Amino acid sequence: MANVRLIARLDIKAPNLIKGVHLEGLRKLGDPQKFAQSYYEAGVDEIIYMDIVASLYNRSSLHEIVRRTAEQVFIPITVGGGIRSLSDVEQMLRSGADKVAINTGAVRSPQLINDVARRFGSQCMVLSVEAKRRPSGEGWEAFTDNGREHTGLDVIDWVRKGIDLGVGEVMLTSVDREGTRRGFDVELTRAVSEIASVPVIASGGMGSVEHLVEVVHDGRADAVAMADVLHYNRMPFAEIRNAAVAAGIPTRLR
Amino acid sequence: MTNDVILVDYGVGNLLSVARALEACGANVVLTDNRSKIAAADRIVLPGVGAIGDCLNELRRRDLIEPVLEFAHSGRPMLGICVGMQVLLEVGEEFGEHTAFGLIKGRVKAIPATTSQGERHKIPHIGWTSIAPPQSRESWKGTVLEKIEPGSTCYFVHSYTAVCDDPDNLLAVSDYNGRQVTAAVQTGRVFGVQFHPEKSGKTGLQIISTFLEMS
């Protein structure tokens, strides 16, 4: 089994790292670059920055955060939020991102996925999917705008289509679990991972190492994104990695 | 010998990440697509992401294949990264057949779609995977990897892998779900790494520093 990637996800409302519950109700935690730097030193595998406001007004501030981070953090950096065009992607890559995560822009114009993959390579095209279980309990619907706007798209169909168009990775956020610390939506992760030929990053809900183990073993996640468990220092990263390894999850050790 | 390094600029996406990592290792980076600067360089780095055919077309369009090949034959140190490593081989099979540099005998082929157990696995191979010398090689002495512990992990993202005809060209290998992938190749002082040293944390920076110390 290949090493599972342990990823620090930092939601940003420039210039601050913030943390919310169900992607709403925000708390400011400080300079994202400082957090990213400390996670890099601690051995995190990748950094994901998500601009949760994604307003034009804050764009230059976000670029500045990415630029400062990329000067000192030599692991992959993914940036998402408000990316709608090839020129947005290009500017983000120029600032120091290695990959972009796109949700709304891809829902509005699926062709954007294909354009990004062809121009910059599918390795940099991450499809960001915000999934909410349907009220009936049957399946999941894809949302945009931090889980507020319906798309009418079935998550499984949408991921399939995204992969056909050239997505290199899927970042799957459970809106129901985000910020709850009640664990990942394992069923969702498994349903998506089973139909996805590309790696799937599980996001939303990690409160303990048991949750991580569960979403890898039962949910078949290829990578796991964690946020407030790190940001509030509930557990040092090295401890999380060691506990994961002890539970039989292969990760990089050096 | 100075700390100057020419980073061949042919419009590929990961150029700036590579430049930042080189600078963090103390290099004076010159981004250029100028043929005579490449010919006169102390050492060059050839980056590359995306599809091999696109990279070769961009190099060709800028008339850069010939000066890079001349440089490679000069015996000065050269490092190809990711697709910049794949182009060192003879042929790339991604989206059709593409004639590449031919500095190293062999082809760049798709990673098998299944694990060694026959189960479907995720392509691209994305993540931190350990690298080791192949059976045909005793150590990494005298190469860009000489200061790296075998078993160290590096960050990979690729769907195609170099298959070398001559085991002497194979510098490092990795295992992806039971499938061997080529992590690094060498011919003389020309090195190529499939992984991204600029994104492989301290291990990657160590590899870059070793390259910069070569004269």
The structural domains of chain B, ordered by start, are 4-213 (3.40.50.880)
Residue A247, pLDDT score: 96
Of B13, B20, B149, the CB nearest to A93: B13
**How many residues appear in chain A?**
254
A11 is a catalytic site residue: yes
Banded pLDDT at B83 (limits 50, 70, 90): very high
**Contact flag B50-A120 (C-beta cutoff 8 Å):** yes
Give the burial class of A129: count Cβ atoms within 10 A of its Cβ; 0-12 exposed, 13-18 middle, 19 or more buried: buried
Q: Is B26 an 8 Å CB contact of chain A? A: no
Residue A60, pLDDT score: 84
User: ∠ CA A151-A153-A155 to the nearest 5 degrees?
Assistant: 120
Give the burial class of A128: count Cβ atoms within 10 A of its Cβ; 0-12 exposed, 13-18 middle, 19 or more buried: buried
Within its chain, how far is the Cα of B78 from the centroid? 9
Of A2, A5, A74, the CB nearest to B201: A74
Q: Is A41 an 8 Å CB contact of chain B? A: no
Q: Is B129 an 8 Å CB contact of chain A? A: yes
Of B122, B202, B205, the CB nearest to A199: B122
**Contact flag A3-B152 (C-beta cutoff 8 Å):** no
Q: Is A96 an 8 Å CB contact of chain B? A: yes
Q: Is B49 an 8 Å CB contact of chain A? A: yes
Residue A53, pLDDT score: 85
SS3 state of residue A24: strand
Say what percent of chain B tops pLDDT 70: 99
Inter-chain Cβ pairs, chain A and chain B, closer than 8 A: 102
- Give CA–CA dist B171/B184, Å, rounded: 5
Banded pLDDT at A22 (limits 50, 70, 90): low
Cβ neighbours of A123 in B, within 8 Å: 49-50, 124, 126, 157-158
CATH architecture label of A5-246: Alpha-Beta Barrel (3.20)
Distance from CA of A54 to the nearest CA of B (A): 23
Place of tokens 């390094």: B5
Task: Check if the beta carbon of residue B41 is closer than 8 Å to that of residue B79.
Answer: no
- Give CA–CA dist B164/B185, Å, rounded: 8
* Beta carbons within 8 Å of A227's beta carbon, 6+ residues apart: A8, A9, A10, A11, A19, A179, A203, A206
Backbone phi, then psi, for B106, in 5-degree steps? 140, 180
**For residue B40, what are its two tokens?**
């006169």
Of B55, B82, B154, B164, the active-site residue reads B82
**Contact flag B128-A252 (C-beta cutoff 8 Å):** yes
Residue B13, pLDDT score: 66
Give the burial class of A26: count Cβ atoms within 10 A of its Cβ; 0-12 exposed, 13-18 middle, 19 or more buried: middle
The residue of chain A nearest to residue B123, with distances taken between CA atoms, is A198
Banded pLDDT at A246 (limits 50, 70, 90): very high
- Give CA–CA dist A157/A141, Å, rounded: 10
Residue A67, pLDDT score: 95
Say what percent of chain A tops pLDDT 90: 82
Q: Which of A71, A68, A47, A20 is nearest to A237 (CA)?
A: A47
Residue B102, pLDDT score: 98
Bridging pattern class, strands A24-30 and A5-13: unpaired
- Give CA–CA dist B96/A122, Å, rounded: 17
- Give CA–CA dist A131/A175, Å, rounded: 6
- Give CA–CA dist A130/A197, Å, rounded: 19
> Rounded mean pLDDT of chain A?
94
Task: Check if the beta carbon of residue A100 is closer than 8 Å to that of residue A124.
Answer: yes
Query: What residues does each domain of chain A span?
Result: 5-246
Distance from CA of B82 to the nearest CA of A (A): 12
pLDDT at A54 over 80: no
Neighbouring-strand partners of residue A79: A49, A100
Backbone phi, then psi, for B66, in 5-degree steps? -60, -50
Residue A1, pLDDT score: 82
pLDDT in tens, B24-73: 999 999 999 999 999 999 999 999 988 899 999 999 999 999 999 999 99
Sheet containing B91-92: give its strands across.
B98-99, B91-92, B106-110, B160-164
Residue A59, pLDDT score: 83
Cβ neighbours of A96 in B, within 8 Å: 16-17, 20
Distance from CA of B154 to the nearest CA of A (A): 9
pLDDT at A198 over 90: yes
Banded pLDDT at A233 (limits 50, 70, 90): confident
Task: Check if the beta carbon of residue A95 is closer than 8 Å to that of residue A70.
Answer: yes
